Structures are given as C-alpha cells and as structure tokens.
Amino acid sequence: MPGSSPVFAQIMNALHPQEFARCVAQFPPPRRPRGLSAYDHFLALCFAQLTGREGLRDLVICLKARPNRAYQAGFRTRLTRTNLAYANEHRDWRIVAAVAQLLMRRTARLYADHPAGSDLPQLSYALDASLIDLSLALFPWANWQHTDAAVKLHTLLSLRGAVPTWTAVTEGRIHDSKMLAEIPVEKGAFYVLDRGYLDFRGLARVQAGGAFFVVRSKCHLALRVTNSRAIDKSLGLRCDQTVQLVTGWSRRRFTGPLRRVRIYDANCQRSLVFLTNHFDLPAITVAELYRRRWQVELFFKWIKQHLRLRAFLGRSPNAVRLQVWAAICSYLLVAIAKKEFGLPQSLHQMLQVISVSVFESVPLPELFSSRPLHTDEPNQLLLLP
C-alpha cells in the first residue's frame, strides 16, 4: 500500500471492492439503490467502529470535515445523515454478514500457523454466545425477558489465534444449544463447549461429522460407569471413566459411549466434570482444552469494550444486525492487518492508534514502529498478543 494512502484505506485494503460486489450480488435489492452505494455504506459502518462514532450525526460531521481525505480513504458517494439512516433501515444485513464470513476464512488462513500450544490438538474451537443488551423502550422488537431486550451473538472461536471462524446473530431468546445444528463441523477438530450446549442430538451431529467435543456436564445427568482408568491425583484429577447414558431420552439421541473426566479446581474450590467422545487424549489435556475455552469469553468482552455495540446507529432489526456484523468485520480487518504487516502491538493498542490516525498518510508499519508495547492499564484485556 503506498504511503500516500490514509491509514483507514490501508486497513480496508484486506477487502477488495470486487469481493464486496460479489457479496452484494448474493442479495440483490428490490430496486436499484440511489445515493449512497453499498460499498460506501459498509465503509461508513467500519469507520464508525474504528473511530468510536456514537451516532449518525457524529459520523457524518467527522467525514465531512476532511472531504479530500475521505475520498482518498475510499468514499465515493455523498454521505448524509438521511441516506445513512435509510441504508441502515433497508440495505440487507446479510451482505455484511457475507463479507464477515469471507474475512473469517481469510483470517483463518493467515493464523493457520499461529501456535496453539504443544499439548493441545491443532484444530480446536470454542463455541459460546453472549447477549448484547438493548433498551426495550427503543428496541421493542428485541423483547427477551420481561423488561429486558437483547440480541445474541453466537461465535465459534479458533483457539489458534483467538479469531472467530463462524458467527451468527439471533434474537436473545434463542437457546445456545440450537447452534450445534448450525455450526460447520470439521473432521478431526475439537469443539469445546460449556454446559449450556449439553444437547445430545447436537453432539451426535458433531460426532457424525468425524469431529470431537469436550463439554461440561450437568450435575443431574444419569450415567452408568463401564470402565475406569488410572489417574494422577497430584494434577487435580479425580476420575477418568467410560460411561453410558442411562435415560431413554438421552440414549435415543446419543447411542455411543462417552468419556467422563472429573478434575478438582483448587483455586475455585470446586469440581468440574467433562464429557468427551475422544478416548486417547490424556485426561489433563481434556481439562486444559476446557480451560482454553475462556478465550471466547475474552473475545466477547473485547468487542463490547472497544467496539461500538452499546450505542446503535438505528433502531430497526436490520440496523442492529448491520452494526453487529460491522463490528465483527472491523475486528477481523485489524487482525488481518496485524498479521500481514507483522505488527507486535495488541489489537487494543492498534485500535487506539488507528482511531486517531485514520486520515494520516503513513504506512502502517511506520505508524506503529515507534509505539511502546506496554499499556498503562494493568487489567486491560489483550487478545492476539
């Protein structure tokens, strides 16, 4: 990327306009759009995420303040608060979702050589969901529980590089376990799940796809022990057993044997029980896989703290989904730039610098070459160190 290109254009360079056009072609509008183009709309949504804009007026004023630099950053059509609001209301959110899926595939290839830990399987993913809170007064269509409103972000996160490989945005009332029927199943991969995903029909789908799972068990689950293996209690292990489901409802959905591993967590002073369909991994590795599941929790906290998922640019379901998918795209674009340019800074540090340098004509490696690698916030969440 030439040095004369603004920082924002260098970040967006990971997505070619023709690739975006192919995503748009998948969901053609009922009539030809007038005014704001789909690509400029996407750029504006990502610009709002990367610079911390809180509203449409804020976003338009910022872009109009430097029209020449905005043009060099990639904007080609006229942006107004009216046409941005209309695009948020009517332009199909599935376009930005398709762009996010494209960027996730690109990010997965870039981080394929990222170290995952010598003791862990090379292909391992953590699946979880997080609620994005909304105001019921402003978003009555998102009614979740009584006086609460929310949408739910489901994410399948690769434990190699802490980057999402699959996401979905649903209503808040959708149960987490239903996503087991939606996620892509990769042969030989490990899927690490919390106890909310203890759905044996979905787990049977994972096993039928040639993959493995590690899921935290519930206390009331009825099991029959058929075999026990020796354990090292000094590691906190308490049992390593082969078990069968007992109740007819469960056995009809998952017919094969399961492995039950129990470990005592001295720090939290509680026992954790895991079920898996893999019988060869060391028992302590099964527990370690579940411990690494915490990365998906950090991912949710990161995007909620550092991207714009609190103040929304529109109140319709389409506008909310557009903004959530734009936040995911922005995260992926920064992660791609970090890997392609070999930048040692964390994503948080990069985002802070980018937010005040979007219009600067400085190559990204030069922009970050003089930045310190430490942070003044000792409790700051760091992803992709």
Per-residue pLDDT of 33-92, as tens digits, reads: 677 899 999 999 999 999 999 899 999 999 999 889 999 999 988 889 999 999 999 999
Name the residue range of residue 216's domain: 195-292
Stronger pLDDT, 211 or 383, i.e. the higher one: 211
Full-model pTM: 0.90
- One domain for residues 345 and 269: no
Query: Please, what is the average pLDDT of the chain?
Result: 89
Please indicate, yes or no, whether residues 283 and 324 belong to a single structural domain of this protein.
no
**Which of 267, 292, 317 lies at the terminal end of a domain, its last residue?**
292
Contact 142, 320 (CB under 8 A): yes
For the segment 331-355, the average pLDDT, to the nearest whole number, is 91
Give the pLDDT of residue 379: 46
Whether 143 maps to a domain, the answer reads no
How far apart CA 133 and CA 223 sit, in angstroms, is 38
Chain center to CA of 133:
17
Indicate whether 55 and 14 sit together in one domain: yes
Number of domains in the chain: 2
**Pairing relation of β-strands 190-193 and 212-216?**
parallel
**pLDDT for residue 181:** 94
Q: Are residues 219 and 285 in the same domain?
A: yes
At 124, list the tokens: 């391992």
Same domain, 260 and 326: no
Residue 169 located in a structural domain: no
Q: Are residues 21 and 68 in the same domain?
A: yes
Confidence at residue 384, expressed as pLDDT on a 0 to 100 scale: 55
